[in-house]
Every structure is written in structure tokens, then in C-alpha cells.
Amino acid sequence: MTLVSEHHEADTAAKILITAEQLFREIGYQKTTVADIAKQLHMSPANIYRFFDSKKAIHEGVAVRLMSEVEATIADVAARPGSPTKRLREVLTAIHRTNVQLFIGDAKLHEMVMMAMEQNWDACLAHIERLVVIVGEVIADGIETGEFSAGDAASAARCTCTAMVRFFHPYVIKECANKPEPSLEQMIDFVLRALGAAQAGPARAK
């Protein structure tokens, strides 16, 4: 296969996923069919199946695109200048806010994400692992500089993300939306204190 044809194949696959996401937002995850996607692209369903062998594969591809957006945003936040304590606060805040923006405000897209998580797609598990790695890298910086006293960065990152489930998991975010406490800031303060941060409370991510 030539580079030109490979590029064309990748471009077509991307268009299929973009169109599928648009339809998921408009008519819902369950109601969207492969035929709907094909019609929107002026393609045959058989041609769609050349790129994705099932409807589930399309759904997973859309989920990967959305989760990649979250990961890219969080990686950018983690790379900002500042102390590890400040950066970790900003990273934990950004994970919550990005998930709310992408997955909570849009009811139809939320339905698709919930289905993905219920089916334990490998893509969802890989996404969680990549976020844990990003969090772990910031914690490792804090251990190195002496800001955090946690002994093992990888273990501390997993514990941190588990503690933040209420603010990370789309289903739990939605279910706890009207529960007043703990607030996001209170939970982050708690996590920072658990990591041994000397001054967990005063600073706030803007």
C-alpha cells in the first residue's frame, strides 16, 4: 500500500468517526446505525465496514477520540511551569472540568460514554492508565523536590486517582452533582495533605 493510499484510508476512517460522533450527539448512541453514518457520508454501509468491522468498533473509535482530547489537555496542564503541588492541583482540577465539559453537559454523548464503561472496553482502561501515568509524573517531580513525602509515585498516583473518582468518573460526577461536600477543592486539599504537601490548602487553581 502506498503512502498516498494509506493517508486516504486514515482520512476516511477519521471522517467516519467524526460523522458518527456528530450523530451520537444529535440522535443518540443507541439510535444511530451504521446506515445512518453511511448515508451522512454518501457511502454504502459495506464501505463503512471496510474500515470498522462492527458498530461497536465505531463507538470505541469515537470514545478513543474523545478520551484522547482529555489526555492531551491534561498533559498540557501537567507540563506548565510551577511547583509540583500547584501543577498537581491544576491537573486534578483539569481532569474534572474536562470530563464535565465533554461527557456531562451532553446527555446523548454521556449515554455513549456510560455504555463504553459498562462494557469495560480496553480503550477506557487504557485511558485511565494514561491519566494515572500523567498524575504519577507530577507526583514523582514532587517526591524528587521534597514537596511530597509519598514513597512510590506510581502507587501514590493510583491512590490519588481512586480518591478523586467522584470528580473523575462521568457517572459518579453526574450522580453527585447536587451533593454539597466534599467540594473539588476540599478533595484536592485532602489528597495533597495525604501526599505530604506542606501547604495544601492556601493555593487554588484558577
In the chain, pLDDT over 90 holds for what percent of residues?
55
Residue 39 one-letter amino acid: K
Spell out the SS3 assignment of 105-147: CCHHHHHHHHHHHHCCCHHHHHHHHHHHHHHHHHHHHHHHHCC
Parse the chain into domains and list their residue ranges.
1-53, 54-195
Residue 4 pLDDT exceeds 50: no
Query: What is the reported pLDDT for 184?
Result: 95
Cis ω before 180 (30° cut-off from 0)? no
> In the numeric block, which cell numbers belong to residue 148?
511530597
pLDDT tens-digit series, residues 36-72: 999 999 999 999 999 999 988 898 888 888 888 889 9
Query: At residue 139, does pLDDT exceed 90?
Result: yes
Closest by Cα among 34, 17, 37, 23 to 108: 23
What fold, for 1-53?
Arc Repressor Mutant, subunit A (1.10.10)
pLDDT at position 108 over 80 = no
Backbone angles phi, psi at 38, to 5 degrees: -60, -45
pTM of the model: 0.81
Q: Which CATH superfamily is domain 54-195 in?
A: Tetracycline Repressor, domain 2 (1.10.357.10)
Number of H helices, E strands in the chain: 11, 0
Q: What is the pLDDT of residues 186-206, one digit of tens each?
A: 999 999 999 988 655 544 443
